[in-house]
Structure 1
Amino acid sequence: MIKRFKKITGQLHLWLGLASGLVVFIVTVTGSMLVFEKELDPLINKDRYFVAHQPGEARLSLDSLLRQVARAQPALQVTRLEIETHDPDRPLMLLATRKKELYRMAVDPYTAKVVSVIPEDKRFFSIIVHLHRYLLAGKTGKAITGVSCIIFICLIISGLILWWPKKWKGLKQRLSIKNSGNRKRFIWDLHAVGGFYIHALILVIALTGLTWSYKWFNNGIFLVMDGKPPAANKAPANRVMQAAGDGFYESLYNKANVALPYNGRVTLLIPAGDSTAVTVSKENHEAAVPNVVDFLYYEKGTGTLLKAMPYAKQTAGMKVRRMIYPIHTGSIFGWPTKLLAFFSCLFAASLPVTGLLVWLNRRKKKTKSVPPRKAANLAVAPIPRPVE
């Protein structure tokens, strides 16, 4: 019974692996690159992430910077500002739109010079993200990666079943990769034994990846933790209709830092009209884990605080949902978990390759083991001499 079950599992593992191998390879390779996006992007684009300034030099106010950016880039409408509160070497990062296309701008906060303007979807890591999630094929690609993610989870589980030794005395052999000169055996060990050592990590990465593939999985987090679907996180309507005056955004930035005095990145979302409040969020870089964010909603024009949603008072579902991204990328506990995620993704990318080689080696073995024809059939009659 067990032998038959393993045989069926083996066939399932084989054909699911062959069907999804290429997609799994692409997703895992791009995933390993995205683990260190925050570290690599500033190294690749230093001019976009660092500005020169004199020690103690005061930056321009946010309102002054917005006015000068509007003069320099009149076709772009700024919708978002990002400021690193405790890093004076970083530029002001802006997101702006033009004809529904999103642009990312880096602005020198000391001179108001626009250092860089690039379409968001043309950034190197934006392309990698789209390849990782959508295979650069939109909704169709998203559907393929979603199904492949589920298949990959099945492959991890079925692979563990196939790895499991029949007897405990065979456990030692299943825990070591033998490099005895037998190439086929080495490839099998690399696939099976190596896969065992990383199966728990890649299973967690794959399961958390379903959050971006399927709405039902995302909503399921809230249903399990809160007992209800997620509530829409919308800015409240303004009570007083008033345009933002000079110094308004700088005052909101200062108010947010007084209310949230820790080190972190402040983000201001600027609504297009005067009817919606300005959303000010701050990510706590001093928290034990990443992606801890507090939200404040200020009335546009008056600067009155209309609503506060601190992280401490957010629902359990929202807190778990915020942990999904750092768990998925390995940033949950800093460099140690990032390195684990990086090497696990790279090794996971080798699994479709070694799995294919194992299958091809077995096919060759079966071909060679076909029994030869009987000698009688080969010597039915003597071979005639050629006509001279």
Structure 2
Amino acid sequence: MRPSLLKRVLFRLHWLAGISAGLVLGAVGLTGGLLGLEQPVLAWLNPALHVDAAGRALQTPDRWIEAARAAMPGYTVRSVSWEGPDHAVGVRLARAGARPTEVALDPYSGAVLGAERGKAFFASAERIHRNLAAGPVGKQIVGASTALMFVFIATGIYLRWPRRARSPSAWLRMNTAAKGRGFWWQLHAVVGTWLLVPYLLAAATGLWWSYDFYRNALNGLAGVPAPQRRAPAGDAPVAASLDAAWAAFQREAPEATRANIATTTAADGALEIRYQTAASPHDRAWDSLKLDPADGSVRTREAYADQPRGRRFIASLFPLHSGSWFGVPGRIVAAGAALLMPLFALSGLWMWVLRRRNAALRRRAASAQASLEVRTA
């Protein structure tokens, strides 16, 4: 195929992919960027969830659960989240036919701190991000659009391949003097090159949630069995008390900065507490203690660093997707790249409009010139 013909074919492919998936990816990117800002925004909106620990004795998980049940009668407690000595405790509850909910408590007094402001907004943003808030059909649309990201990237690189391909400035420098369609092309192509790596990483990891075959393939390569679906509320045995296990956890892991306490026991009767420390590499790097709920004796202990490499890779997919694997700078880059995603849909659409308009002007000019030549002949 001749280079000029190949370029036209790839341009049409890039354009068709943009028409079919650009707006979807814009919505997914915008909501993904908002989700990247969730933690600091919720912290700003909910100063009451930061509690004063000075001189106060921490209550026990049983007291927290008792307060949560009193606030939400008829719900079953699923887990307790402890986020450190200066933060509210979250008790997660579920009930058949209702969405799971969480009650925030003062871990020292047991007082209910009220609903977390902004949580419903970010829950809606997450539904749009995952499936356009349209259930299984929306999930398939998001998955197909995410797969088309690779088409955008591959065709876009070919279409903008500069003559001086070895020069970084030829790829990364924007011509700020450009006007009209050239200006929009600069935004579309050069900014897209800046964000190439974040978009590749987001697409490659995002497909893990979109398609079972992709998830199963990655799990198989990593040697990780398919995750088991969680039992519905009330189907698993509930520990009579968490206090003995919690006391043992505090002795065994005094360096913990956050923890998630299961309220249901495993098949062997053990109660699991997953936790992180200041040295944890990312927000999905959980160490684990399995304890006897009766006397708090340690059944097993597993550090994240000791897990097989494949399990650590699968656990890292979400931090890679959100940028948190790279710390605060990674979160900022990932959120910024996601928020800029609508730019490519809008700039591509506007360039298409300008291209059509310019083509129409050229046709009219050619027609007028032909008419003039006929009259003067």
**Smaller-chain TM-score bracket:** 0.7 to 0.9
What is the alpha-carbon distance in structure 2 between the residues aligned to residue 98 and residue 366 of structure 1? 60
What is the CA–CA distance in structure 1 between the aligned matches of 2:213 and 2:172, rounded to whole Å?
A: 37
- Which of 207, 210, 214 in structure 1 is aligned with 2:204? 207
Are the equivalent residues in 2 in contact too, given 1:222–1:230 (CA < 8 A)?
yes
Separation in 2 of the partners of 1:262 and 1:100?
A: 39
Which one of 147, 152, 159 corresponds to residue 150 of structure 1? 147
1:58 deviates by 0.6
- Does the C-alpha gap of structure 1 residues 273 and 326 become closer, same or farther in structure 2, counting only changes over 3 Å? closer
Partner deviation per Cα, 1:224-282 (whole Å, 9 max, x = no partner): 233x64465999xxxxx9962xxx41221232233333232111111289985322111
1:157-202 Cα distance to aligned partner (Å, 9 max, x none): 2111111124659985554322325221111111112211211221
For 1:347, the aligned partner's letter is L
Matched, 1:298 2:291: yes
| Post-superposition offset of 1:26 | 0.4
Could you say what secondary structure the match of 2:195 adopts? helix
Q: How far apart, CA to CA, are the structure 2 residues paired with 1:266 and 1:132?
A: 27
Matched, 1:90 2:87: yes
Report whether the alignment pairs 1:115 with 2:113: yes
Task: Go from structure 1 to structure 2 and tell me whether the alpha carbon gap of 1:194 and 1:167 turns closer, same or farther (over 3 Å shift).
Answer: same
Change (3 A) 1:264 1:217: farther
Residues 221 and 317 in structure 1, CA contact (< 8 A), matched pair in contact too: no
Contact 2:261 2:274 in 1 (8 A): yes
**Which letter does structure 1 place at the counterpart of 2:160?**
W
1:51 paired residue number: 51
SS at 1:58's partner residue?
coil
Partner of 2:68 in structure 1?
69
Deviation at 1:134, TM superposition (A): 1.2
Query: Residue 192 of structure 1 aligns to which amino acid in structure 2?
Result: A
Q: Where do residues 138-177 of structure 1 align in structure 2 (5 Å cutoff)?
A: 138-166=135-163, 168=165, 173-177=170-174
Aligned to 1:123, the other structure's residue is in SS state helix
Which amino acid is the alignment partner of residue 67 of structure 1? E
Which digits, 9 at most, give the CA deviation of each residue in 1:336-368, with x for residues without a partner?
A: 112211222222220111111111111111111
Q: Would you say the 8 A contact 1:284–1:290 is kept in 2?
A: no
Gaps of 5+ in 2: 232-236
RMSD of aligned residue pairs (Cα, Å): 3.0
1:7-33 deviations in Å (ceiling 9; x for gaps): 211110001001111111101111111
In structure 2, the CA distance between the partners of 1:168 and 1:336, relative to structure 1 (3 Å rule), is: closer
CA distance in 1 between counterparts of 2:339 and 2:75 reads 40
The Cα of 1:3 is off from its aligned counterpart by 2.3
Take 2:80 and 2:337, find their aligned partners in 1: how far apart are those partners? 35
2:234 equivalent in structure 1: none
* Alpha-carbon distance change, 242 to 275 in structure 1, aligned in 2, over 3 angstroms: farther
1:73 CA drift (Å): 3.2
| Contact preservation (8 Å) 2:248, 2:297 | no
Deviation at 1:118, TM superposition (A): 7.0
Conserved? CA contact 2:274–2:286, under 8 Å: yes
User: Identity of aligned pairs, percent?
Assistant: 25
Select the residue among 255, 272, 278 that pairs with 1:279. Answer: 272
Q: Write the letter of the residue equivalent to 1:71.
A: A
Per-residue CA deviations over 1:301-347 (Å, capped at 9, x if unaligned) read 34444444332332222100111111111111222112211222222
Which of 359, 367, 374 is matched with 1:372 structurally? 367
TM-score by length of 1: 0.85
Deviations 1:42-82 (A, max 9, x none): 212223x22356x2111222222322333343322211101
Task: Give runs of aligned pairs for residues 240-251 of structure 1, distance below 5 A.
Answer: 244=240, 248-251=241-244
Q: Residues 64 and 91 of structure 2 are in contact (CA less than 8 Å); yes or no, is this contact kept in structure 1? A: no
SS of structure 1 residue aligned to 2:254? coil
Could you tell me how far 1:299 is from its partner in structure 2?
Answer: 3.6
Q: What amino acid does structure 2 have at the position aligned with 1:222?
A: N
1:353 aligns with 2:353: no
* CA distance 1:368–1:154, change in 2 (3 Å): same
Compare 126-135 and 38-47 and name the one that shifted more: 38-47
Give the Cα–Cα distance (whole angstroms) in 1 for the partners of residues 165 and 32 of structure 2. Answer: 36
Is 1:132 aligned with 2:141? no
Shift, 1:372, TM fit = 1.0
Q: 1:368 to 1:233 in 2, by over 3 A?
A: closer
**Change over 3 Å in CA distance of 1:359–1:72 after alignment to 2:** closer
Aligned to 2:260: 267
Residues 170 and 114 (structure 1), Cα distance of their counterparts in 2 relative to 1, 3 Å cut:
closer
Q: Quick one: distance in 2 between partners of 1:92 and 1:167?
A: 57
Task: State the shift of 1:377 in Å.
Answer: 9.2
Say which is worse superposed, 355-364 or 338-347, in terms of deviation: 338-347
Give yes or no for the alignment of 1:253 onto 2:246: yes
Contact 2:292 2:299 in 1 (8 A): yes
| Bigger Rg over Cα | 1
Residue type matched to 1:82 in 2? S
Aligned partner of 2:134: which letter?
A
Amino acid paired to 2:183: F
